[in-house]
Amino acid sequence: MLNKILNIGTSTGKRHAVRMTNLFVVIGLPLLALNVIVQALEHNITAIEFWLVNGLVVFAYTLTLLFNWLNQNDLARAWLLTVFVLDITLASTRWFGIESFIFFHLIVIYPVAFLLWQEKPSIRNAILALISVAFFAVFYWPSDPMFPSDVEQKRSSMGLVFINCAILLSIVAKLFSIDTQRAHRHLAEQARIDPLTNILNRRELERQLDTQCESVLSMAVMLFDIDKFKHINDQYGHHTGDDALKHVVACVKQQLPEEAMFARFGGDEFCILWANCQRQQAQDLANIIVKQVAEKPCSVNDQHLAISISISMGIAFETQRKDLSRLLIDADNAMYAAKRKGRNTFVTTWAQPSQAVPA
């Protein structure tokens, strides 16, 4: 439930700032209710103005969630801080006076403003300047409150201020830490995953191979691309070309063994690395994949047609050297040998890397 509230309005892409705004509301509402009850009990407050204004403040805080839900994120942030400042200013001047220490809540705005307006420093600096003016205006406001405090009430108020600020800053810092870690994981994922096909990219494939190269007994490199892919792009458009790439990936993933690694090398070129397999196993897998792709046309939804797709694959197999750069060259040569054979097939090379032997 809490996570759903925090994610209100995050579809616009400003996830961190929006979640921080929603969290401020989620924390602020119960803290506001607690403080109002404690202050009312300590000062025996029965004034209708006090209860009416605080009810309006609660409603105003809730509107922040509505603004985010409507994707008015900038308005939600500005509204939240405005309501907070007005609430603290009113409590520090008209109701309880400067000696209640309530105005120290304004200190919370400084770190929060940096978190909410990281991408807009000019707005952030303007807000901080206005908060500083409000802070000093409250500090020098003539002290004639409706509900003056005695010594014990001042101590109680000071304790509440400390607790409120500690809770607000601690939970906001925790959410900042969580979102920062999530962002780091997302960036790490982007660095290793091809965004279109959601499989490994070339750099990650090579990195994983380097970590396990010494422990493998054999290695099959299966390099393939889509036949006449440029023709698909030219005739049907790049969007259809992207659909064709994703279609081929889906066909291949259905047949891959768990221990095989699958990556997009760029464009329409893909690579499968299968460690500790037999040569015949690699050839059988290649045969299945080539047939699977050829037998399943790619549907083009917006044009109500299906495109026949085929691939040409080259396999390089090695039991001793396991040199990826050499294997990739051999597999690339074998792939072009498959194209010379007429496409929609595969060619395997082994033992003599410079010689391509038809499967």
* Same domain as 153, residue 257: no
Residue finishing a domain among 142, 176, 192: 192
* Rounded-to-integer distance, Cα 177 and Cα 169, Å: 12
Q: Would you state the pLDDT for residue 357?
A: 43
140-168 b/e (C-beta count within 10 Å ≥ 16 → b): ebeeebebebeeebbebbbebbeebbeeb
CA distance 358 to 158: 84
In contact, 36 and 54? CB cutoff 8 Å:
yes
| Final residue in a domain of this structure, among 192, 214, 248 | 192
Q: Output the pLDDT for position 177.
A: 83
CATH of the domain at 243: 3.30.70.270
Whether residues 278 and 306 fall in one domain: yes
Task: Indicate if 324 and 263 belong to the same structural domain.
Answer: yes
Residues 210 and 300 in one domain: yes
Which residues span the domain enclosing 22?
2-192
Average pLDDT for consecutive 10-residue bins of the chain (359 residues)?
84 78 88 90 90 94 93 89 88 85 84 80 83 80 82 86 86 79 78 88 83 76 93 87 92 92 92 91 94 88 76 88 78 93 90 45
**Class of residue 349 by CB neighbours under 10 A (exposed 0-12, middle 13-18, buried 19+):** buried
Long-range contacts made by residues 100-106, C-beta under 8 angstroms, separation at least 24? 100/145, 100/149, 100/153, 100/154, 100/157, 101/154, 101/157, 101/158, 101/161, 102/157, 102/161, 103/135, 103/138, 103/139, 104/161, 104/165, 105/161, 105/164, 105/165, 106/131, 106/134, 106/135, 106/138
Q: What is the pLDDT of residues 61-72, one digit of tens each?
A: 999 999 999 989
> Is 155 in the same domain as 270?
no
Q: What is the dihedral of CA 199, 205, 209, 212, to 10 degrees?
A: -40
Q: How many degrees, rounded to 5, is the angle at CA 127 between CA 83 and CA 103? A: 55
Domain boundary among 163, 192, 221: 192
Residues 204 and 187 in one domain: no
Q: Are residues 188 and 213 in the same domain?
A: no
The per-residue pLDDT for 56 is: 94
The C-alpha atoms of residue 165 and residue 102 are separated, in whole angstroms, by 10
How do 311-318 and 305-307 pair as beta strands?
unpaired
**Do 147 and 234 have their domain in common?**
no
Whether residues 181 and 296 fall in one domain: no
Residues 84 and 183 in one domain: yes
What's the angle, vertex CA 100, arms to CA 98 and CA 104, rounded to 5?
Answer: 75
Condensed to tens digits (0 to 9), the pLDDT of residues 228-252 reads 999 988 888 888 899 999 999 999 9
Q: Degrees (nearest 5) of the Cα angle 53, 58, 59?
A: 95
User: Which string of DSSP letters, residue by residue, matches 208-232?
Assistant: HHHHHGGG-S-EEEEEEEETTHHHH
Q: Which amino acid is at 82?
A: T
The predicted structure's pLDDT at residue 321: 59
What pLDDT score was predicted for residue 13? 64
- Are residues 154 and 258 both part of a single domain? no
Answer yes or no: are the C-beta atoms of 113 and 64 closer than 8 Å: no
Q: How many domains does the chain have?
A: 2
Q: In what helix (H) or strand (E) does residue 298 lie, and over which residues does it extend?
A: strand 298-300
The Cα–Cα gap between 272 and 290 comes to 13
Q: Please tell me the predicted confidence (pLDDT) of residue 306.
A: 82
**Phi-psi group of 47: left, alpha or beta (phi > 0 → left; psi -120 to 50 → alpha; rest → beta):** beta
- For the record, the structure tokens of 136 come out as 């000093």
β-strand partners of 349? 316
Domain identity same for 69 and 174: yes
pTM of the model: 0.58
